[in-house]
Structures are given as C-alpha cells and as structure tokens.
Chain A
Amino acid sequence: EPEVTQTPSHQVTQMGQEVILRCVPISNHLYFYWYRQILGQKVEFLVSFYNNEISEKSEIFDDQFSVERPDGSNFTLKIRSTKLEDSAMYFCASTVSTPNEKLFFGSGTQLSVL
C-alpha cells in the first residue's frame, strides 16, 4: 500500500531555532494536513492544505507556523522560532480527493526543543 513518508523521524533543536519538517504525501492525493501529538495527549489538528493554499487552520497554527508545497511531491511545515512547548510528535497526512475521507498518516517526526 502507498505510504506517506516523513523526514526526519527525530529532530532535536534549540529553543528559538527554525525547523522544517518534511513530508511526501501519497502521489495522487490532493488534500494535505499537519497534526501534532504532545506525549500522551490527543492528536491535534494544525492545518489543512489544498490547491496550493491553506484551507483551514487551528488556533495552534499561529504566525510562527507556515506550510509550503515547494514542488510536486513535498509538503513542509516550518516553525520559525521554536518554543519548548512545540515539543511533540508531528504527523503529516493526506487524503485522495475530498476532506471527509480516510486520512493516511505518516509515521511522524518527533520534535524535541531544548
């Protein structure tokens, strides 16, 4: 079965540094998402992206966050100036053609901000 791939699997950074988390969604999918999961807590919606623009974003997704699809295959999440509370597992996901369909998740990037 096709997979969503995420790199790196682990990222350690210093507070205040910029990080870029990378994802390659499944090739024929059109909707892309970022979620995060703080250890032991729920999976939280950050942002959805369709047709090269953000379609929805949560209250968590403030000006420190941005997303980009720089080419036909990658989908990135940038955190401009990381804070300790940004430490979490970040999941990328994609769906084929409409929002209310099966989300395919990647295995996540564990971000640790020191």
Chain B
Amino acid sequence: GENVEQHPSTLSVQEGDSAVIKCTYSDSASNYFPWYKQELGKGPQLIIDIRSNVGEKKDQRIAVTLNKTAKHFSLHITETQPEDSAVYFCAASGNNNDMRFGAGTRLTVKP
C-alpha cells in the first residue's frame, strides 16, 4: 500500500518568514495529494490539494508543488502569521478508497 513520509516533524519560524514542509510517497498510482491543518482539539481540515495533472497550485499565502517523477510534494506558506501555528499533515491517495497520511509537522510561528 501507499507510504507517505513527511519532514520535518517540527518547524519553528519567525512571523513573516516562509515555511516549507516536504512529503514523499511510494505508490506511483497515487493521484490526489491534499494538505490538512489540525488545530489543538480539532479534526484535520483541508487547506489545499493538488492532483497529479498539475505541478503547482496556489491559494493566497499557501502553495503546493508536485513532482511526480520524484514522487514528492511540498507545502509552502509565505508571510507566516501566529495563527498558522498548528500541525500540518500531507496525504496521498489513488483511485482506491484509502487516503494515507504523513506523520505530521508541528509548525510554530513566533511573533
């Protein structure tokens, strides 16, 4: 089955700096790559996703890039704010029905 690796496990940045989180996946059949943000005591919430037919997608301060050949994808957050502090999970799935998650990155944005 699919295996998703995520790095780093923790990331601390100064407010206004950029943050980058990287993931790799193992199954070349995976074609959907979402990113979820989990705040304390809540379930994960989708913040952005990308499909395998595109290489990059942007939504305001958040962008995701995908390299299908290398089987890796990254989340970029620019102009970070304290409210961006949370745990971020990448995930991957194919046409089957079992989305697999990375281990998570705890992002801390220091004011």
Contact = CB atoms under 8 A, between A and B. Distances in A.
Given A42-B89, A56-B96, A107-B41, A102 B101 contact: no
Interface string B39-82: 00111111001010000000000000000000000000000000
Interface residues of A, number: 25
B43 A58 contact: no
Contacts of A103: 34, 36, 44, 46, 99
Contacts of A52: none
A108 B43 CA distance: 6
A51 B87 CA distance: 33
B11 interface: no
Interface string A3-26: 010000000000000000000000
A100 B43 contact: no
Contacts, number: 66
Given A99-B95, A99-B96, A100-B93, A42 B46 contact: no
B31 interface: yes
A11 to B, nearest CB: 16
Contacts of B96: 55-56, 99
Contacts of A100: 31-32, 51, 93-95
B103 interface: yes
Interface of A: 4, 31, 33, 35, 41-45, 48, 50, 55-58, 91, 93, 99-100, 102-103, 105-108
